[in-house]
Amino acid sequence: MLNIVLFGPPGSGKGTQSEKLIEKFSLVHISTGDILRAEVAAQTELGFKAKTIMDSGILVPDEVVIGMIENKIKSNKEANGFIFDGFPRTVAQAEALDKILETYKLKVNYMVALEVPIELLIERLLGRAKVSGRADDTLEVIENRIKEYSNKTLPVANFYQNQSKFIPVDGVGEISEIFERICSVLK
């Protein structure tokens, strides 16, 4: 099995590159942002709680997302592998992921970290705002999301560095060019 954590700040291209990777390697895509947005759209109790938090650009509590991941892995035990997109976002989530995978005798193989300068992240997300309808794609909330990433999520890179699984990839350029870079490091 090939289990990849696709890592990077908001707007670094995790969702865009995940789409291409799942096609090439027949992996199951697990995006905590997509799962949470589906809960919001379905107006579930979890969705109501998550919406206020997401709309302000801060992270949803660890126990909520860890529970979601556990369910997804459990219901896809026969998969060729997983792409974790937007998860783990805290060291506590990374530790929990290792434990969950271990119960199925699985592990994360690589963390692919997309590196993009902040000005370009903001430009991309403000560009997406014109079509996405995402309440968190406003300048103020984008800035909060980037702050949350720097404070709580960046330490996750060290977690995988310590396991020798961290692979940085330049996330600037054409989408296809970045995809080629990722594929070449995965070889």
Separation of alpha carbons 144 and 24, rounded Å: 34
Contact 87, 69 (CB under 8 A): yes
Instruction: Name the closest residue to ligand AP5 (Cβ).
Output: 33
Task: Kindly write out the interface string for residues 85-114 of this chain, putting x where it contacts ligand AP5 by CB under 6 A and - elsewhere.
Answer: -xx-x---x---------------------
Active-site residue, 145 included: yes
Would you say 23 or 105 has its CB closer to ligand AP5? Answer: 23
Please report whether residue 72 would count as binding ligand AP5 according to CB under 6 A.
Answer: no
Q: Which of 4, 5, 7, 8 binds ligand AP5 (CB under 6 A)?
A: 8
Active-site residue, 181 included: no
Burial 57-92 (b: 16+ CB within 10 A, else e): bebbebebbbebbeebbeeeeebebbbbbbbbbbee
Separation of alpha carbons 121 and 104, rounded Å: 36
Would you say 132 or 158 has its CB closer to ligand AP5? Answer: 132
Question: What is the chain's alpha carbon radius of gyration, rounded to the nearest angstrom?
Answer: 16
CB of 164 to ligand AP5, least distance (A): 23
Closest CA to 172 of 9, 4, 5: 9
Please report whether residue 10 would count as binding ligand AP5 according to CB under 6 A.
Answer: yes
Separation of alpha carbons 187 and 183, rounded Å: 6
Structure tokens at 35: 């799962």
Active-site residue, 89 included: yes
Residues with catalytic roles = 14, 89, 128, 134, 145
User: Which residues here bind ligand AP5, judged by CB under 6 A?
Assistant: 8, 10-16, 32-33, 36, 53-54, 57-60, 65, 86-87, 89, 93, 124, 127-128, 136, 145, 175, 178
